[in-house]
Amino acid sequence: MTRHKVEICGVDTAKLPVLKNDEMRKLFKQMQDGDIEAREILVNGNLRLVLSVIQRFNNRGEYVDDLFQVGCIGLMKSIDNFDLSQNVKFSTYAVPMIIGEIRRYLRDNNPIRVSRSLRDIAYKALQAREKLMNKTSKEPTPVEIAEEMGVPHADVVFALDAIQDPVSLFEPIYNDGGDPIFVMDQLSDDNNKDTIWIDEIALKEGMRRLNEREKMILNKRFFQGMTQMEVANEIGISQAQVSRLEKGAIKEMNKQMYE
């Protein structure tokens, strides 16, 4: 089988060595006797563990090179602290340490600061989730995670929400080749309707020359607080069509109102 060359931090991952268990034990003994070269061989021979771990975090928007370097720190810590006298495979010991190092890095570099107590609950909840998944082979509910941890359900939900990455309102979620649909297009707001009556008057004034379909879409979007998807389902067209009609109508209103 041909392996494709993929470089991370200048390392050709297709050429990474793989050490056998008896080789590992021999190298660990040599390292613990002061052989620096044996330690380097152990690190290079276990870089595939780091690669397998960082794949779990490939949807976090972080640079792979950064995650790889952080994972290597976790690998080196596990090599330096591994106890040969324990009847445990090195990979079983190393993988949780690599994961922990990466999670600490992601936590410390999160743009939203979260209290340590909240982070502790969140990461314990993630551990409980993984334990329950291994036990039941299905995704546990927040209630089941809370019961496993012995904490209130609300605390688990709040903590897990707190460590989620923020999403921009202008993040595109769909594009059919025309105008993109953003996160903000999916949001509706039923609050503060009493405070926007001036804006409503201006909109109604600008809507006078729109056709009936455009008026209906804007009315449902801005006066009834419906999302584009809700409007699309109600009038029987696609969300992309609603988005185009909405943007075109607003452009025409602006033209009439400010000329």
Is the confidence at residue 90, as pLDDT, over 80? yes
What Å distances lie between residue 111 and 17, 50, 79, CA to CA?
37, 25, 31
* Residue 140 and residue 188 in one domain: no
In this structure, what are the phi and psi dihedrals at residue 90, rounded to the nearest 5 degrees?
A: -60, -40
Q: Is the pLDDT of residue 240 over 70?
A: yes
Host domain of residue 36? 1-109
Question: Cα 141 to the chain's mean position, in Å?
Answer: 19
**Domain end residue (candidates: 109, 127, 153):** 109
Average per-residue pLDDT in the chain? 76
Domain boundary among 109, 133, 151: 109
Q: How confident is the model at residue 37 (pLDDT cuts 50, 70, 90)?
A: very high
Percent of the chain with pLDDT over 90: 5
What would the pLDDT profile of 199-210 be if each residue is shown by its tens digit? 555 556 666 778
Question: Based on the domain organization, do 104 and 128 belong to the same domain?
Answer: no
Selection from 30-44, 152-166, 175-189, 217-231 with the highest mean pLDDT: 30-44
Tens-place pLDDT, residues 171-201: 565 555 556 666 555 555 555 444 444 455 5
Q: How confident is the model at residue 3 (pLDDT cuts 50, 70, 90)?
A: very low
Q: What is the DSSP letter of 8?
A: E
Sign of CA dihedral 225, 229, 234, 239: positive
191/254 same-domain check: yes
Do 136 and 234 fall into the same domain? no
Residues in a beta bridge with 172:
182
Give the model confidence (pLDDT) of 63-73 as tens digits: 778 888 898 99
Residue 4: pLDDT band with limits 50, 70, 90: very low
196 and 123 together in one domain: no
The predicted pLDDT at position 10 comes to 57
Strands (E) in 6-94, as ranges, are: 7-8, 11-12
Query: Do residues 215 and 229 share a domain?
Result: yes
Q: Are residue 67 and residue 90 in the same domain, yes or no?
A: yes
Q: Number of structural domains, the chain? A: 3
Name the residue with higher pLDDT: 158 or 217.
217
CA terminus-to-terminus distance, the chain: 67
Which segment of 17-31, 88-102, 105-119 scores lowest on mean pLDDT? 105-119
The CATH number of the domain where 40 resides is what? 1.20.120.1810
Closest CA relative to residue 106, chosen from 71, 139, 157: 71
Query: What are the tens digits of pLDDT across the range 101-139?
Result: 888 887 777 655 556 777 788 888 888 888 888 888 888
Residues 236 and 146 reside in one and the same domain = no
The reply to whether 99 and 203 lie within a common domain is no
Of 93, 109, 125, the domain-final residue: 109
68 and 49, same domain (yes or no): yes
Same domain? 7 vs 105: yes
Higher pLDDT, residue 162 or 249: 249
What CATH number has the domain bearing residue 155?
1.10.10.10
Shared domain for 96 and 151, answered yes or no, is no
